Structure 1
Amino acid sequence: MSSETERELIARVAALPLQPFQFGQYEGKRRVASFGFRYDYSLRRLQDADPIPAWLRPAINAVEAFGGPGTRIGQVLCTEYDTGVGIGWHRDKPHFDRVFGLSLGSACKFRFRRTAAEKWRRFTLSAEPRSLYMMSGPSRQVWEHSIPAVQAPRYSITFRTMAERNS
């Protein structure tokens, strides 16, 4: 994508009514807005969220084309990471299938880990601005991922397909 498109998407995300990420009784430092569905950590289930905005449709079309035939995005999460903010080790909830992430603004290290006998096997991916990554299969089901504190403001748009049992 062009730098101009990146700037437009960042402006759109920054203009959303972003809220601190709620993880049950805890509040994360990153700010988010969910569309289509959101996961409620207190209730431990998916909840309906606002409809996906029309301005995301061109990005969704590109992600669905990248994902191949049958790829249908059902949930979008827009996230703002201020300088010094990251995200801890986790796997996305099983309600979702494939996960696509569009990295905007600052580059970040995208870390992966999984158990290997008594140790951790680790891998780091550099998520450059305007890059798109996809997690499916083992990278989605077996490996955990995290992002250490970013050095400059970063935005991401996460696009998720729904798991078969939830569609």
Structure 2
Amino acid sequence: MMGVQADLFGEPVATGPAAPAGFRYWPDLLSEDEQARVVRALQALSFKPYEHLGYLGNRRIAAFGRRYDLARQALEAAEPWPAFLQELLGQLTDRAGLPAEDFVQALVNEYQPGAGIGWHRDRPVYGRILGVSLLSPSIMRLRQKRGAGWTRAGAPLAPGSAYLLSGEVRRDWEHSITPMTALRYSITFRTLACLTP
């Protein structure tokens, strides 16, 4: 499993096995007070169970801006972004050096104890994925098909940390989150694939 940490100048660096190309990580983007403010705002949202092909997942979600309708295989409008998510996106994109206006979707996931997410790649209609992890630590597992086997990596996601998936890791690698032992929230912001080189 790779370890990822920031160097003295704030740039993400990998320790141990190399991080897949396109993976960036910031371990302490939000202070405990900032996290607490965001979590209070998240807890006021209207969540619904995640549904996939008629099955309900073990996590709850709230989508803003755009959402992907699996049955129609198309993007559709979702609820407008709350102001606190716009502010958080600005903080993340400033740190990552990305244009905030490129991000069209915010997806909030609530993981109760026992909830995780299986192996997947985000829908190809989306480009870069910029995420923040709140409340509880988790592990993001990464894998890439190589012949008959898999190349694997992983990164611990600390509370208040942020990550970016772009390029190779976004296109060629799957990711998953191990089941939680305590409540965790994640917020992922997505661009459209047509905006991503």
- What range is the shorter-chain TM-score in? over 0.9
Which of the residues 140, 146, 154 maps onto 2:184? Answer: 154
* Residue number in structure 2 paired with 1:133: 163
* Residue number in structure 2 paired with 1:30: 59
Q: Which amino acid aligns with 1:148?
A: T
Give secondary structure in 2 for the equivalent of 1:34. Answer: strand
Give secondary structure in 2 for the equivalent of 1:106. Answer: coil
Q: CA deviation at 1:69?
A: 4.6
* Residue number in structure 1 paired with 2:36: 7
> Residues 22 and 41 of structure 1 are in contact (CA less than 8 Å); yes or no, is this contact kept in structure 2?
no
What whole-Å deviation, never above 9, does each CA across 1:79-110 have from its counterpart, x for those lacking one? 10000100000001111110011000110010
Q: Report the more deviating stretch, 20-29 or 58-67.
A: 58-67
Q: Which amino acid aligns with 2:113?
A: T
Q: Distance in 2 between matches of 1:11 and 1:116?
A: 43
> Is 2:113 aligned against 1:83?
yes
Cα distance change on mapping 1:121 and 1:55 into 2, 3 Å: same
Q: CA deviation at 1:33?
A: 0.4
> Is 2:93 aligned against 1:64?
yes
TM-score (norm 2): 0.80
> Residues 64 and 73 of structure 1 are in contact (CA less than 8 Å); yes or no, is this contact kept in structure 2?
no
Q: Distance in 1 between matches of 2:45 and 2:78?
A: 14
Q: Distance in 2 between matches of 1:84 and 1:60?
A: 28
> Residues 127 and 195 of structure 2 are in contact (CA less than 8 Å); yes or no, is this contact kept in structure 1?
no
Q: Which amino acid aligns with 1:103?
A: S
Q: Distance in 2 between matches of 1:64 and 1:162?
A: 15
Cα distance change on mapping 1:27 and 1:69 into 2, 3 Å: closer
Q: Distance in 2 between matches of 1:83 and 1:149?
A: 7
Q: Which amino acid aligns with 2:71?
A: S
Identity among equivalent positions (%) equals 39
Query: Which ranges of structure 1 fall in alignment gaps of 5 or more residues?
Result: none
* Residue number in structure 2 paired with 1:97: 127
Q: Distance in 2 between matches of 1:65 and 1:113?
A: 29
Q: CA deviation at 1:165?
A: 6.8
Cα RMSD after superposing both structures? 1.5
